[in-house]
Structure 1
Amino acid sequence: MSAPKLFITGATGQLGRLVIDTLLDTVPPGSVVAGVRDPEGEVARSLRERGVELRLADYTRPDTLAAAFSGIDRLLLISGNEIGQRVVQHGHVIDAAKARGVKLLAYTSILRADTSPLALAEEHRATEALIRASGLPHVLLRNGWYNEVFTWRLPEALRQQVLFGAAGEGRISSAGRADYAAAAAAALVSGTETSRIHELAGDTAFSLAELAAILSRLTGESIPYRDIAPDALCDAARAGGLPQTFAEILADTDAGIARGALFDDGGALGRLIGRATTPIQDTVAGFLAAIPSAAH
């Protein structure tokens, strides 16, 4: 019996590449199909060189999806990054997957999407509803935050010698991007074509004050956490050059953290991938190691 054909959308993105890396540790390259928007791009070419089949698949062009999903057994829909457009784009993928007889659709959603207070959860809730309405067997990978989401705040904290936030004492159960990629790969290769929901988060949690303490310890600097109101954080982020939409998301996310939106102690991610998840301090240390000026 031939191996099932596994399709990864957004395959040249950071998560998509990691999913394929994980899959290639356990399945033959010929069973993996990468959905790309530019088959001649550098990352796409590197995938082809590893034996992965490339197919043009653009969320905004339904005609490309119908052709791309031919003969596919299991499909990973990695949520798009065009906020405000994602429900329509995801709908194109779901419709094409159903039309082509895909046997299992996995989707990278958000932690506790059905009850999350985060503004970002709205498009995930709507996408999950479309998936259920399609009747496709599905796996909802409700991902918590990536450790890497927090590292982009660190250079500014180092520059100002303070980490600003609006999360209060809220705790964050984040994990490494590679951990979530391993979970997605596991969902695709499990062979269980029944609908499931996985609430995925890191094994350990931290507050932003603890993140500041980790940063201080690793750099030898004294960098405190300063909690401010969400509106003030949004204004500060805009003043620092962040676009309005992303500044609002930052403030909304921190406010959600204060309400427990990103805390989870269920341990489902570690069980799914069969190992401990990546602690935030490991990710911060790796980030700082790549910045010579941060070494002390």
Structure 2
Amino acid sequence: MAEASTLVFGATGALGQHVLDALAVRGMSPETITAAGRNPARLAELASAGFRAATVDLSDAAGVAELVRRHSDIVLISGRDENRLAQHESVIEAAKNARHVYYTSGVRADDDRFEINADHRATEKALAASGVPYTILRNTWYIENYVQSLAGPRFTGVLAAATGDAVVAAASRKDLAEALAVVVATDGHDNVTYSLSGDTDFTYADIAEAMSVVLEREVAYRPVAPEELRALLGKTGMDEELVSFLVSLDETIAAGVFARVGDDLSRLLGRPTTGLVEGLTAK
């Protein structure tokens, strides 16, 4: 096994950047952490900050294996590529001699009603079967996902969504990154799965109210049927594939996938989770 060092896949993404910051705050020296990703400009910045940096495409199994071989602890932040399951399996196969693998999964990944989590579910099974000690962190919906939804309400005063009366226990990326850092930097997490939710089940009316504060204008939630949402999005010039994805996502939220599952997140943090307004305005 390689000398004690930590490899972070997905380090140049939005969550990964927070993870690196949180690991440093937890007392881990940047020179013992390798930030791996595909964004050369961001990797150069991280190298300047003292982290090791490695350019890698997770579809390059040989490159992944060589990189994994040189590290004892592997942090696998789930990606968005269409072939991400194959990528995840490649990392897990390469990490069979590692000391520990940490994986960011999706909340309710064990519930096969939710197709959104199919890749997470399969990755978790591969990880459990690998024999390597692991920790799975099933992340909830990001509060920051609603930042991109501010554009419409900014001009219309309406948050339209096909989510019905669903609730979402959203959490900030920083909170989820901090929880991951706590697990990486402390003992007692072998073969444990954490379900990470925010402290509060927010309704879409709550989200509209938070947007009102952020935008300094009144915003109201207007529930719409999926087909009405499809028509509204189509009028913006959005391509059909993205429209279908967004409508399907709202339908999944309406089914309750992101409702609260417990207090694992606040327990790991040792404090309450971040609220909507703070999450929508954080940098």
TM-score when normalising by structure 2: 0.92
Superposition map of 1:48-63 within 5 A: 48-63=47-62
- SS of the counterpart of 1:54? strand
5+ residue gaps, structure 2, are none
Superposed displacement of residue 139, structure 1? 1.0
2:5 is matched with: 5
The number of residue pairs the alignment matches comes to 281
5+ residue gaps, structure 1, are 288-296
1:70 is matched with: 69
The structure-2 alpha-carbon separation of the partners of 1:131 and 1:18, relative to structure 1 and needing over 3 Å to count, comes to same
The structure-2 alpha-carbon separation of the partners of 1:226 and 1:34, relative to structure 1 and needing over 3 Å to count, comes to same
Tell me if 1:125 matches 2:121: yes
2:23 is matched with: 23
Q: Which amino acid aligns with 2:65?
A: A
Match of 1:206 among 202, 206, 222: 202
Quick check: 1:76–1:184 contact (8 Å CA) kept in 2? Answer: no
The structure-2 alpha-carbon separation of the partners of 1:235 and 1:153, relative to structure 1 and needing over 3 Å to count, comes to same
Superposed displacement of residue 196, structure 1? 0.7
Superposed displacement of residue 193, structure 1? 5.8
- SS of the counterpart of 1:222? coil
Match of 1:177 among 153, 173, 178: 173
Quick check: 2:101–2:135 contact (8 Å CA) kept in 1? Answer: yes
2:144 is matched with: 148
Superposition map of 1:68-107 within 5 A: 68-82=67-81, 84-98=82-96, 101-107=97-103
Structure 1 distance, partners of 2:280, 2:130, is 41
- Which range moved further: 157-166 or 103-112? 157-166
Cα deviation digits, residues 223-277 of structure 1 (max 9, x gap)? 2211111233234224324444443332223223222211115111011122221
Please report the RMSD computed on the Cα atoms of aligned residues, expressed in angstroms. Answer: 2.0
Structure 1 distance, partners of 2:69, 2:162, is 47
Superposed displacement of residue 285, structure 1? 3.9
- SS of the counterpart of 1:108? strand
Quick check: 1:175–1:201 contact (8 Å CA) kept in 2? Answer: yes
Q: Which amino acid aligns with 1:57?
A: V
Quick check: 1:56–1:68 contact (8 Å CA) kept in 2? Answer: no
The structure-2 alpha-carbon separation of the partners of 1:235 and 1:88, relative to structure 1 and needing over 3 Å to count, comes to farther
